[in-house]
Structures are given as C-alpha cells and as structure tokens.
Amino acid sequence: MGSRQFATFEVDGQLFGVEVHTVQEVLSYNEYTPVPLAPPAVGGLFNLRGQVIAAVDLRVQLGLARQALHGPVMNVILRGDGEPVSLLVDKIGEVVDLEDEKFEPPPDTLSGPTRELVVGTFKLDGRLMLALDVNQAVDTYRATT
C-alpha cells in the first residue's frame, strides 16, 4: 500500500487537497489585475517575481460567488502545463501524508460543479478531504453554470 502527500486548503469550509508534486508554491498576494471579458472564474493576474500568473477563483469553479479581491488572498500556485497557474483559496491547510486505503471515490450524493472537479475522498481524522482534479480545477472554460 502506497501513500501520497497532499497539500490541503479550505474553500467555503470544505477541505480540499492536491498532490504535493503539482504545487509550485503557496503564497498570499494583495493586488490582482482584473481581466475584463475573461471567463468569470478568472480572478485576475498578478506578478510573481516577474512572471505574469493567472489566478483562478476556486469559489467560482465550485459554483459559489466570486471571492472579493480586497486585501491578501491565499494562492496555491500549481505548476500547470508549461505555465504556472494559481488557485485562489480561503485558507491554507497542512501537508498530509495519506495512505491509499483511506481513499474512496466521491460519494454518489455529491453533485453539481464540485463533482466534476473531485476525483475522490480521503477520510481524515474527524473530517473529509476532497482530492481535486488539477486540470479540471484550473480549466476556466469549463461550463460554470
């Protein structure tokens, strides 16, 4: 039985996780440049040491209202496919080491936009962590209804 490391974070009270190797870094950032006419899930652009990074609002991806971009917001910067991309989240959690046996497919009762982003559920002590499909999570052209 193998185990995997997940970086965890919270959105709207729910714990999510992505595999650690997909994460470039985690940081809090203040100023975002909005991109008019971009898909709603695009929170804005910011300058990461000279690199222009697009921030995807995970709340919008999950079918929630946009995150207000005033003051510092936490970014989980994913390596992405050639170009890093950031997920805007509420709160950063810890890195957890999870054994594969704690994994279960997403419950059948889970529906809506969240269902499409989640590949499985991990049972932690006292709470559940939803493992995100990284590619789906940053796909801003996904139909967000």
Q: Which residues bind another protein (CB under 8 A)?
A: 31, 33-39, 42, 44-47, 49-54, 83, 85, 140-141
Dist CA 47 CA 31 (whole Å): 9
Sign of the C-alpha dihedral, residues 15, 21, 23, 25? positive
Q: Which is nearer to another protein, 34 or 63 (CB)?
A: 34
Q: Which is nearer to another protein, 4 or 79 (CB)?
A: 79
Dist CA 138 CA 98 (whole Å): 23
Dist CA 138 CA 62 (whole Å): 11
Shortest spacing between CB 32 and another protein, in angstroms: 8
Shortest spacing between CB 25 and another protein, in angstroms: 17
**Token pair for 47:** 């300058």
Shortest spacing between CB 72 and another protein, in angstroms: 15
Q: Which is nearer to another protein, 3 or 47 (CB)?
A: 47
Strand partners, 84: none
Q: Which is nearer to another protein, 83 or 99 (CB)?
A: 83
Shortest spacing between CB 80 and another protein, in angstroms: 9
Using DSSP's 3-state secondary structure scheme, residue 60 falls into helix
